[in-house]
Amino acid sequence: MSLASTQKKSFGAVLWDYLTTVDHKKLGNMYIVAGAFFFILGGIEALVIRIQLMKPENDFISAGLYNEMITMHGTTMIFFAAMPILLGLMNAIMPLQIGARDVAFPFLNSLGFWLFLFGGIMLNLSWFLGGAPDAGWTAYTPLSTQSPGHGVDFYVMGLQLSGAGTLIGGINFLVTIVTMRGPGMTYMRMPLFTWTTFIASILILFAFPALTVGLFLLMFDRMFGSAFFDVALGGNSIIWQHLFWIFGHPEVYILILPAFGIFSEIFPVFSKKRLFGYSSMVFATFMIAFLGFMVWAHHMLTVGLGPVANSIFAVATMAIAVPTGIKIFNWLATMWGGSIRINSAMLWSLAFIPSFTIGGMTGVMLATATADYQYHDTYFVIGHFHYVIVGGTLFGILAGLHYWWPKLFGKVLHEGMGKIAFWIFFIGFHLTFFVQHFLGLMGMPRRYWVFLENQGLDTGNLVSTIGAFLMTIGTIIFIINIVYTSIKGEKASADPWGTGRTLEWAVSSPPPEYNFKKLPLVRGLDAYWIEKMDGNDKMTPAEPLVDIHMPNGSILPVTMTIGFFIASFGFIYQVDNKSWLALVFIGFAIALGSMLIRSLKDDHGYHIHKEDLEREAD
């Protein structure tokens, strides 16, 4: 344990510590906790949707509320649940894996977190301030420009805030991996999770600005009377679709690639074998990322871009199945002949392979441009993308949480509950979404709040709703597991699985604030495993014990974020009354003032002296 945390602190001091922290591990945990909170919100919304569709012509909620539910479910799950939890894992684990003491920009790391959190709060405040956004998570114009009230405004400002935070996070990870790798950690010795963090960050860097622009245009149209999407003044609605999907398609790879990285860590550890085809895995990840930018228009195959454009985008989309297939076979080959240990983390990983493969297969079906006219905007699409996002990303998150929980929170999750939660959730997942493919093929459109009886849709929808309840039960058991483990769980050792291969398992669980007392010397891929095979129980240090330089904490990320948060309200409400513009100025004064203080006030950090380090146990 670190020196500071061995003393009991008051609640206020703890709160202040979390508000000002720039420690990547604490921020990682904060991302995960906040993401889990939004995941529960999004889950409740999903459950409401499924209850409404449980039987024909149900009147559980009104049509308008249903539209708000589907919009908020999608937006929350993608931007405020899946992404932050992945960013949290990246934050907490990646610097440990490369043998670094922190990320390149600890201050920006904190700023990124707070922007994300306040963006999520902004979006969800819409429920209490006159209604949530109701134009779908894709917010297609002119539906979104015509949507009355302020719902879509909250969507625009909330996503703009959190999008800026994500972009900052992506840049931070990129620089960290390029400049902060420890001694001996060459690129081709980096663990796959670090590689996927790197490549997903490239995607964030080049994808998010397109969303930023799209949101600006939508904001200007809704709040300042511009005419980008106003056909009467020469505007063009398709611009939104292009900008949204130029961001939106890479976004799905931002969600799945880190999950691929997580599985690539778990399979070797629990098969006691090195990852099969390491370099082909790295190459495949790059291929997916590259092709991921070439395929955005497959979301628009029915828009009427013409046969040439459709064919190009269809072929590019199908091509992605090749590197993905390489990965699937590599994972299978990793397990082949290994001494496999099946626990919760491994169960989620094993379940991922068939589930995601089904999602990939329906993806190729959807990519077939001519056939897409049949599938487009039906439940077939819903089935497809839940198979890849739940079966891929969410299974990856859950596998990663079970795998890294001891490293993040110092305790091993309860295995029995983990397995029960897995089986209930896994069965529920397939019940919910498998049948939706057929509902879609039978013509059930997405986003409709009711369906008629005796159309052959009754049984399928009921089965789907039952599955959703099973997933809820699985999630509740997982939450109980977390609570139980926090109270009763035993403290985890540095390498609780016994077969850890990468550097994060060479430091205590949870790691001290400076991560490595002496930076470790990396002698090859799976650095810790190499030491183990040579009979060492510790990493060979690459440096003598020296003072460790640490960054100072700062409250400025919070004040900057609050400034932008206040300004966002100003932007939203100045439509009704121009005096709200005052809030814009106040908010920007706070935000820019904080930036000015940050820029002008010297911040050299502090040192942990080696005398203090010597006194701490290893």
Partner 1 sequence: MSQDHSLNLKNSHEDPAKATMEGKNKFLGLWFFLGGETVLFASFFATYLSLRESTAGGPTSQELFGLELVFIMTVLLLTSSLTSVYAIYHMKNNNFKKMQLWFGITALLGIAFLACEIYEFAHYIIEYEFTFRSSAFGSAFYTLVGFHGGHVVFGLSWLISLMVRNAKRGLSLYNAPKYNTFAIYWHFIDVVWVFIFTVVYLMGMVS
Shortest distance, CB of residue 240 to partner 1, whole angstroms? 10
- The reply on whether position 294 binds partner 1 by CB under 8 A is no
Angle between helices 556-573 and 106-125 (to 10 degrees): 30
Q: Looking at residues 112 to 171 of the shown chain, list those that interact with partner 1 (rule: CB under 8 A).
A: 167, 171
Shortest distance, CB of residue 598 to partner 1, whole angstroms? 11
What is the sign, positive or negative, of the torsion defined by CA atoms of 45, 111, 248, 88?
A: negative
User: Which tokens hold the place of 173?
Assistant: 């990870």
Of 154, 155, 228, 380, the residue at the interface with partner 1 (CB under 8 A) is 228
- The reply on whether position 17 binds partner 1 by CB under 8 A is no
Nearer to partner 1, 127 or 216 (CB): 216
- The reply on whether position 237 binds partner 1 by CB under 8 A is no
Peptide bond into 557 cis (omega under 30): no
- The reply on whether position 547 binds partner 1 by CB under 8 A is yes
User: Which tokens hold the place of 473?
Assistant: 């039960």
Q: Looking at residues 548 to 577 of the shown chain, list those that interact with partner 1 (rule: CB under 8 A).
A: 548-549
- The reply on whether position 354 binds partner 1 by CB under 8 A is no
Stretch that binds partner 1, among 153-161, 211-219, 305-313, 390-398 (CB under 8 A): 211-219
- The reply on whether position 476 binds partner 1 by CB under 8 A is no
- The reply on whether position 187 binds partner 1 by CB under 8 A is no
**Contact, 80 vs 158, CB < 8 A?**
no
Containing 618, the helix (H) or strand (E) segment is: none
Stretch that binds partner 1, among 20-28, 145-153, 177-185, 456-464 (CB under 8 A): 177-185
Closest residue by Cα to residue 281 from 318, 340, 339, 325: 325
Between CA 206 and CA 586 the distance in angstroms is 31
- Going by the DSSP 8-state scheme, the letter that residue 188 receives in this structure is G
Of 210, 254, 281, 566, the residue at the interface with partner 1 (CB under 8 A) is 210
Of 2, 20, 212, 540, the residue at the interface with partner 1 (CB under 8 A) is 212
Site of tokens 């997580």: 262
Q: Looking at residues 405 to 464 of the shown chain, list those that interact with partner 1 (rule: CB under 8 A).
A: none
Nearer to partner 1, 33 or 231 (CB): 231
Between CA 282 and CA 278 the distance in angstroms is 6
Measured torsion, CA atoms of residues 117, 103, 181, 81, in degrees rounded to the nearest 10: -10
**Contact, 146 vs 237, CB < 8 A?**
no
x/- site string to partner 1, residues 72 to 101, per CB under 8 A? -----------------------------x
Of 64, 130, 225, 354, the residue at the interface with partner 1 (CB under 8 A) is 225
Q: Which residues contact 158 (CB under 8 A, 6 or more apart)?
A: 119, 120, 121, 122, 123, 124, 126, 568
Stretch that binds partner 1, among 24-32, 436-444, 468-476, 592-600 (CB under 8 A): 592-600
- The reply on whether position 206 binds partner 1 by CB under 8 A is yes
Between CA 561 and CA 289 the distance in angstroms is 31
DSSP letters, 386-435, are HHHIIIIIIHHHHHHHHHHHHHHHSBPPPHHHHHHHHHHHHHHHHHHHHH
Shortest distance, CB of residue 235 to partner 1, whole angstroms? 4
Give the ranges where 499-580 is alpha helix by DSSP (H): 527-533, 556-573
Nearer to partner 1, 240 or 331 (CB): 240
Residues touching partner 1: how many (CB under 8 A)?
A: 50
- The reply on whether position 545 binds partner 1 by CB under 8 A is no
Of 600, 611, 614, 618, the residue at the interface with partner 1 (CB under 8 A) is 600
Between CA 197 and CA 262 the distance in angstroms is 10
Stretch that binds partner 1, among 78-86, 102-110, 302-310, 399-407 (CB under 8 A): 102-110
Residue 541, phi-psi category: left (phi > 0), alpha (psi -120 to 50), beta (remainder): beta
Of 242, 299, 384, 501, the residue at the interface with partner 1 (CB under 8 A) is 242
- The reply on whether position 227 binds partner 1 by CB under 8 A is yes
Residues in the chain: 618
Of 209, 443, 541, 593, the residue at the interface with partner 1 (CB under 8 A) is 209
Of 217, 326, 347, 413, the residue at the interface with partner 1 (CB under 8 A) is 217
Between CA 143 and CA 224 the distance in angstroms is 17
Between CA 524 and CA 534 the distance in angstroms is 13
**Contact, 229 vs 294, CB < 8 A?**
no
- The reply on whether position 471 binds partner 1 by CB under 8 A is no
Containing 484, the helix (H) or strand (E) segment is: helix 458-488
- The reply on whether position 614 binds partner 1 by CB under 8 A is no
Closest residue by Cα to residue 295 from 245, 361, 370, 258: 245
Of 44, 143, 239, 319, the residue at the interface with partner 1 (CB under 8 A) is 239
Shortest distance, CB of residue 610 to partner 1, whole angstroms? 11
Q: By CB under 8 A, name the binding residues for partner 1.
A: 101-102, 104-105, 167, 171-172, 174-175, 178-180, 205-210, 212-214, 216-217, 220-221, 224-228, 230, 232-236, 239, 242-243, 246, 546-549, 596, 599-600, 602, 604-605
